[in-house]
A and B are shown apart, each in its own frame.
Chain A
Amino acid sequence: NAGVTQTPKFRILKIGQSMTLQCTQDMNHNYMYWYRQDPGMGLKLIYYSVGAGITDKGEVPNGYNVSRSTTEDFPLRLELAAPSQTSVYFCASSYPYQGLMYSPLHFGNGTRLTVT
């Protein structure tokens, strides 16, 4: 199993441009997440999905959009990129069991995005 795969690894955008960060997982996990990581700030949840066709906002959703058409894929869309979106983005997945109580996250290796 490849686990969680993110592309691209690095990207530089100009202010106002758009892009899609790709994420795919081959573990048949129901739940998928997008986090951003800023220095000294830990990981903040942007969006999550509990299954194909179902998405919801996390802590910091403004400026982003997601879709979930298949179990495997969960792309993150940035419209009108801003310098505040410079960050490292991590996609993760999990398979909830025991009534959703104990569910570790499996992370990809991240996309480092710079907006200038």
Chain B
Amino acid sequence: GENVEQHPSTLSVQEGDSAVIKCTYSDSASNYFPWYKQELGKGPQLIIDIRSNVGEKKDQRIAVTLNKTAKHFSLHITETQPEDSAVYFCAASGSTGGFKTIFGAGTRLFVKA
């Protein structure tokens, strides 16, 4: 089945710096790659997603890139702010498992003011 690996598990940056989280997936049939942000005591919320026919997508300070050949995708957050502190999950779906979503283990991001 599909496997998603996520790195790093913890990331600490200074306010205003950039943060990058990287993921790899195993099933080349996967075609949809969402990113979720989880704040303390809450469920994950979608922040951005990318489809397999697109290499890059940007939404204000957040961008995602996808390299289908290498089966890598990354989340980039620029000009980080303290409210960006949270756990971020990458995920993949659309593989042989169909619509089921497989998650990475998560990255805890700390933004120091």
Contact = CB atoms under 8 A, between A and B. Distances in A.
Interface residues of B, number: 28
Interface of B: 1, 4, 6, 9, 31-32, 34, 36, 41-46, 49, 51, 89, 93-94, 98-106
A73 to B, nearest CB: 17
Contacts of B94: 100-102
A107 B6 CA distance: 21
B104 A108 contact: no
B105 A100 contact: no
Interface of A: 4, 31, 33, 35, 40-45, 48, 58-59, 90, 92, 94, 96, 100-110
Contacts of B99: 31, 94, 96, 100, 103
A76 B60 CA distance: 38
A48 B100 contact: yes
Contact of A102 (B1, B32, B44): B32
20 contacts: A31-B99, A40-B106, A41-B105, A42-B105, A43-B89, A44-B103, A45-B102, A58-B100, A59-B1, A90-B43, A96-B99, A101-B32, A102-B51, A104-B49, A105-B36, A105-B46, A106-B46, A107-B43, A109-B43, A110-B41
A107 B32 contact: no
